Structure 1
Amino acid sequence: MKKKYIQKIIAYIVLIFILSSFYIEMSKNYPFNWQRVPFKYMNLYIDGFFMTLKISLLSILFALIIGIIFGVMKTSKYQILKEFANTYTTVFRNIPLLVIILIIYYGVGSMIEINAMIGAIVSLSLFEGAYISEIIRGGIEAVDKGQIEAAKTIGLNTFYIYVDILLPQAFRTTLPALTGQFISLVKDSSLASVIALQELTMVGRQIATSSFASFESYITVAIFYFTITALLQVLGKYFERRYAIL
């Protein structure tokens, strides 16, 4: 165990050394001005951070609900449900998220009035839900078939088999994959800047343009994103240990 931590510390030291060397080399050609950015615009960054956090958390919630519904449909005994779920997955996994955002906001938005935040949440939920449905499907199919047969013999119907047996175990086995997908969703939320949503990336771009401090602004944005994704990773590791199947 001690050797493992020593190796981790060495890896961090090497990484810090590489990043520091890169920064020093860049500073020879680019005049960094950290007094102007981010401190002068910190309120704007924080507003963008909370907007990103809001759309990410809501999108994670809705994407998870969509993923569970379509993941269950993929394992249904009814072929029509399987085909419908597979069609949804195929469509949304093979269209770039940027295109989906534009279709939802400018296409659907021309018929139904939606604001940029709703457009971003709907787009992210539908896109990421397609991937989560595949993760859930894999988790359900990984459960031992003998447990399903045992549940049927004691009189459990399909609903309770899914709720009490299949889904709890599926979540436990797919937690690492789900955590990775949630982190991917947070990073993908930056594409919402194309519809002028004042989230973190959009704010960073505006500050970079107005302050002429591009590197400082985008590095600040990267630190905020890293904060969110690192927190999700820590939470994911905690729940993996907490609900691990022994």
Structure 2
Amino acid sequence: MLNQLLGLLFRNPLLLIYPIVLDGLSFIAGLMIVGFIGTPSLSYRLILEMGIPSVSYVSNIPQFVNQLQFMGGAVPASAWIVVLTMLLATVFAQGGYIASLRNATLGQPNSLRQFMKDGKSHWVRFIFIFLIFTAAKTALTTLLVALFNAIGLFLSLVIFVILRIRYIYLEYCIVIDRLNVDAAFRQSRRYVQASSFKTFGLVAVLFIASGTISLLLHWAWSPVAVMAAIPVCAVVSGVIQLAFMQQLCQTKQTF
């Protein structure tokens, strides 16, 4: 199965080009604004994001400008322009990337023109998703930390992981089923219930792979390690996301 997924990924090179280009731009912009920050450490982060991959999703160090955490510390306020631009570019790319996963799975051709068309069709909904997730994470983490101190931080992570698994196909539903946000939540839950065993297996693979990449990245943290991680994340996440898309397409046939 792995060889099949790798072959499918490399036959659709745009699935690698999109995340590599976006991450490369985000990393370069981060270097220009704050330089290279952080030191090697034993740390890891489980990926909770679906859609277009990014090294920033497995890094606890805010080196990439495609995340709000970049604006902490002594970062100049003018950097907000760059951060918001990259966030919008990432949101726009979500629809195109997920549609490209579907096209690859179904044996249909992918093109930059189609990517732009799909991104344009879905970017507003993905902005809502981003705002919902950001507000929910901030509110829940703040509340639990206020109530339980350090334990609250752990509890919030557990809750986020459970919810992420429950709605693992959320972003896919927005694009593949062309649903609005609230309907996509419900449909994602149905897909998970209909394919729970296989979906949970893929989630386990996602968490193990992302945790391993994150651990190695933090351990070897350096500009070279980050640059190496960009294509690695694109390949590993691309393979796993194709597996999720194949599972979703199979599950849809039972509905």
**Larger C-alpha radius of gyration, 1 or 2?**
1
TM-score by length of 2: 0.30
Task: Compute the TM-score of the two structures, normalised by the length of structure 1.
Answer: 0.31
More helix by share: 1
